[in-house]
Amino acid sequence: LRKEIKVRTPYEALEYWYNLKPDLFIRKPDMFRSVVFESRE
């Protein structure tokens, strides 16, 4: 059975998966977001 997740942005999907299994991630979602926005400047 496939379960759909209710997210509007890739960042929300990242937060969702981080809340489910934090051990899969090296960085926290807020760290990832800050790195992405710093590189856009």
For 4-27, what is the mean pLDDT?
87
What are the CA-CA distances from residue 24 to residues 11, 14, 19 (Å)?
16, 11, 10
Give the range of the structural domain holding residue 23, as residue numbers without chain letter: 1-40
Residue 8, pLDDT above cutoff 80: yes
pLDDT at 21 (0 to 100):
92
pLDDT at 35: 80
Q: What average pLDDT score do residues 6-32 get?
A: 88
DSSP secondary-structure letter at 28? -
Cα separation, 20 vs 41, whole angstroms: 31
Can you give the pLDDT at residue 41? 57
Comparing CA positions, the residue from 20, 5, 13, 26 lying closest to residue 35 is 26
What is the model's pTM? Answer: 0.61
Number of domains, the chain: 1
Rounded distance between C-alpha atoms, residue 24 and residue 10, angstroms: 17
